[in-house]
Amino acid sequence: MSDQTIALRPPEHRVERRAIGLWTLQSVIGFGILAGLLTAAYLIFDGARSWLGPILLVVAIWGVVVTAVMPVWRYAVHRWEVTEDAVYTVSGWIVREWRVAPISRIQTVDTTRGPLEQTLRLATLEVTTASSRGPIKVAGIDATVAARVAAELAKITQRTPGDAT
């Protein structure tokens, strides 16, 4: 590891613009399922219509607002960077989380690609460290970039002496 101090700082890279589509689809599917279940309950249970109707209306309005705002907002916030010394991330759309993981604390590096991510040629890079906060996840990066970064991290961690775990 270099003599450079590892500190929180703004990471250099944005996630892919296609991540907006991913987050929009995830929101539409999630709220669609919830609204569908509430609608089915509304139609089946006559006695529950008086209180299910307002809940269904609130869920529908909230779903439209979240689906319209959240993906673009997350795209504006989410950043990541991998250096010889650390992995830096900023994520979140309501609560922002800044994380830095020194290379010497990295235990595993994985990439995952769900069905929607595969369709949009995206991946999630997951860096597991010796931290109780859990892994660092970078969602919405190009699948080819994720594979390249995972391979780079594997090489960097192999040549990093010591174990800060």
The residue out of 74, 97, 116 marking a domain boundary is 74
Please report, for residues 90, 98, 120, the alpha-carbon distance to residue 9 in angstroms, rounded to integers and kept in the order given: 9, 8, 29
- For 109, the domain range is 79-158
d(CA 156, CA 81): 14
Residue 99: count of CB within 10 angstroms of its CB: 21
pTM (predicted TM-score): 0.86
Tokens 């460290």 belong to residue: 129
105 in the same domain as 138 = yes
| pLDDT single digits (tens) 20-64 | 999 999 999 999 999 999 999 999 999 999 999 999 999 999 999
Q: Please give the DSSP secondary-structure letter assigned to residue 128.
A: E
84 in the same domain as 154 = yes
Residue 125, classed as helix, strand or coil, is strand
- The two beta strands, 13-14 and 106-112, are unpaired
Number of domains in the chain: 2
Please report, for residues 94, 99, 110, 122, the alpha-carbon distance to residue 143 in angstroms, rounded to integers and kept in the order given: 26, 22, 12, 5
150 in the same domain as 86 = yes
| pLDDT single digits (tens) 104-138 | 889 999 999 999 999 999 999 999 988 778 899 99
**Structural domain includes residue 2:** no
